[in-house]
Structure 1
Amino acid sequence: MNRSSRTGNDHQLLIQALTPAQRSPLLNLARRIADAGCNLADARVSSIGVDTSLTLLATGSWDAVAKLESALAKFAREEDVHLVHYRTDTRAQASRLLPYLVEVISADRPGILVRIIDFFDRHGIAVEQLHSMRYQAMQTGAPMFQAQITVGIPADTHIAALRDDFLEFCDGLNLDAIMDPVKF
C-alpha cells in the first residue's frame, strides 16, 4: 500500500519496548494507545531472564497515531523503558502460504537454531514466529534445547517431500522433531 494513499484508521505504528523491570509496561502502554484514540491490533510479550520485551502494533487515524507518537516519547522519558517505534504498512495477506508448526527438542549444542533456520531459508520458507530456550533436563540435569517455530510454506510445495527432507535433516543432527499443520 502506498503510504500517501492511506485514509481512515489504517495507519499503523510498530512499538518495541524493552525493560529490565520485572513488572511489564504492557498495561501502561495499552492505556496510552487507547488514550490516543488508537487500537491495539497485535501484541507479543515475552519474559527473557528478568527482562520483559513487548512488540505492539497500534492502528488508528493519522492524527491519533501522531498523538500516540508524542505520548510514547513522554512515556520513554518517564519510565525505565527502552522504546523504539515507527510507522509501518499493512501486511499483505499471504494466502498462498500454509502455516506449519515445527517443534524441535535435543541436547543443547551451539549452532542448532542457526542450522534449523538455514534449512528453511534454503527451501524458501519464511519463519513467521520463533520461540526457543535452553533448560535443564529434569532427571539428568543435562542442558537441553527446545524450539517452536511457525513457518509459512508456499502452497505449491510438496509437503510430504519437505517433511521427509526436514526429518532426515533432524535425524542427521540427532534432533527430535515434528512438523505439523497449525490447527486454529
Structure 2
Amino acid sequence: MATFANQQLVLTAIGEDRSGIVSELTKLVSDCHCNIIDSRIAILGNEFTFIMLLAGDMAAICRVEHLLPVKSMELGLLTMMKRTSKHQQGEYSAGYTLEYHGIDTPGTLSKVTGFFAEQNISISSLKSDTYDQDGELMMRCELEVNIPVEVDSDEFKIKFEDLSRTLNVDYIFRRIR
C-alpha cells in the first residue's frame, strides 16, 4: 500500500526575472503544507528559472497542483509539474566534481556528456557558461558525476585526459565522496 505522507512533485517555473518571484512561489508551497526538499535557481538570459522538489501528503501535493496554474498566470510564469518518487541511489564507488575550461568551441559540452554516457557515468549536476577573456570567448563547465562500481576510476581518468587534449580544455577532478 502506498504511503500518502511522502508524495513528491517536481515543479519548474520560468519567466522574466524580477524580484519577489521566489518569495511568491515558496509562500504558495508553504501555504499548501509542502516541504521543499531540493531546489535550483538560475538566470538564463533575462529569464528566471526555478526548479523545486516538493514533498507532502497527497492533499498538500494536490493543493499545489490546483493552485499553481492561477499563481503562474498572476506572475507571468510558464510552469510545469510532474509527480515523482524518492530517488533510488545506485551503487557508486566514488563521486567527483569535474571543472573544465577553454576557448568556447561548439560541441564541447556534447562531447563531454557523450563521453560520460559511453562510460555509463551518471551526471547529477551540471552548470556551464561563457565569458569574455581578453577579447576571446571562453567557456567553463562544472559537473558532478557518480562513478559506478563496475567502472575503473583510474582508467576513466586516463580516457578523460585523452579527451581533454582532443578538446583543448584544462580540467580539475576532485573527489567529493
TM above 0.5, one fold? yes
Q: 5 Å matches for 1:115-126? A: 115-126=111-122
4+ residue stretches of structure 1 with deviation over 6 A? none
Q: 1:38 aligns with which of 15, 31, 34?
A: 34
**TM-score using structure 2 length:** 0.94
Q: Deviations over 1:7-40 (max 9, x none)?
A: 1421011100001133362211111111011111
Q: 1:147 aligns with which of 141, 164, 168?
A: 141
Q: 2:170 aligns with which of 158, 176, 182?
A: 176
- Post-superposition offset of 1:96: 2.7
Question: Which blocks of at least 5 consecutive residues in structure 1 are unaligned?
Answer: none
| Contact 2:10-2:82 within 8 A present in 1 as well | yes
Aligned residue pairs, count? 177
2:169 maps to amino acid:
L
| Contact 2:91-2:148 within 8 A present in 1 as well | no
Identity %: 24
Question: Which blocks of at least 5 consecutive residues in structure 2 are unaligned?
Answer: none
Q: Report whether the alignment pairs 1:163 with 2:157.
A: yes
Q: Report whether the alignment pairs 1:111 with 2:115.
A: no
Q: Distance in 1 between matches of 2:160 and 2:35?
A: 40
**TM-score using structure 1 length:** 0.91
**Corresponding position of 1:73:** 69
Q: Over aligned residues, Cα RMSD in angstroms? A: 1.4
Match of 1:161, SS state, is helix
| Contact 1:24-1:52 within 8 A present in 2 as well | no
Q: Distance in 2 between matches of 1:135 and 1:22?
A: 23
Q: Report whether the alignment pairs 1:18 with 2:18.
A: no
**Corresponding position of 1:52:** 48
| Contact 2:101-2:169 within 8 A present in 1 as well | yes
> Residues 47, 97 of structure 1: CA spacing in aligned structure 2 closer, same or farther, 3 A cutoff?
farther
**Corresponding position of 2:131:** 135
